[in-house]
């Protein structure tokens, strides 16, 4: 047989190296199905890049083994990333208490926003700017082009109305 591997039909090349490449991949991965997939992908890669690989039998063999090795290493890296992500997510998963607190906060915020919408427009705006957005009285006065005393008066009025319209527990959580 004087033909080089480059002259051999892809099917014959596959027959010659597939089992070897599967075993080679299995040594890295430890999973037969993944090893088979990686070996097959090496052949597909070779067929796609055949014009860029030297037509020498050793070059073809080296290309196939290198492709399998790189795919295995990529697979192992990917598995490590997935494992780290899963481990991080396990630490982040909220417990029942955290979920319940989140539900309570959501309900309280919804109730506060509902009652805020019943306040007069200017009062509502100043309460939102001061307590929700965290702006200082001077900043609110400058943005609305009103006096600081008007801001203070509207805040006082808004808090009085909120106290009247909200459940006492919800009102106290508004400031937390």
pTM above 0.85, yes or no: no
Q: Has residue 175 got a pLDDT over 60?
A: no
- Looking at the structure, tell me whether residues 81 and 119 fall in a common domain: no
**pLDDT at position 6 over 70:** no
Round to whole Å and give the CA distance between 111 and 167. Answer: 9
CATH of the domain at 155: 1.10.10.10
Residues 133 and 165 in one domain: yes
pLDDT at 137 over 60: yes
The Cα–Cα gap between 112 and 127 comes to: 11
Dihedral of the alpha carbons of 164, 169, 173, 175, in degrees to the nearest 10? 40
The domain total for the chain is 2
Q: Are residues 11 and 76 in the same domain?
A: yes
Domain that holds residue 17: 5-92
Domain co-membership, 129 together with 154: yes
Separation between Cα atoms, residue 15 and residue 13, nearest integer Å: 5
Structure confidence by residue, pLDDT tens digits, 105-126: 787 778 888 888 899 999 999 9
Inter-residue contact 6 to 57 (CB < 8 Å): yes
Report whether 77 contacts 85 (CB < 8 A). no
């Amino acid at each position: 047989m004087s033909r080089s591997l480059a002259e051999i039909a892809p099917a014959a090349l596959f027959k010659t190296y597939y089992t070897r490449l599967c075993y080679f991949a299995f040594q890295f991965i430890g999973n037969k199905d993944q090893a088979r997939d990686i070996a097959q992908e090496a052949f597909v890669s070779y067929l796609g890049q055949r014009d860029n690989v030297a037509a020498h039998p050793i070059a073809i063999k080296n290309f196939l083994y290198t492709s399998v090795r790189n795919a295995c290493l990529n697979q192992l890296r990917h598995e490590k990333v997935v494992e780290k992500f899963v481990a991080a997510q396990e630490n982040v998963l909220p417990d029942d208490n955290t979920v319940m607190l989140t539900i309570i906060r959501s309900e309280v915020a919804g109730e506060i926003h509902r009652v805020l919408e019943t306040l007069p427009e200017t009062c509502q705006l100043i309460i939102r700017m001061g307590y929700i957005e965290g702006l200082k009285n001077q900043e609110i006065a400058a943005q609305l082009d009103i006096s600081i005393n008007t801001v203070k008066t509207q805040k006082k009025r808004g808090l009085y109305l909120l106290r009247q319209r909200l459940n006492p527990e919800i009102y106290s959580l508004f400031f937390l």
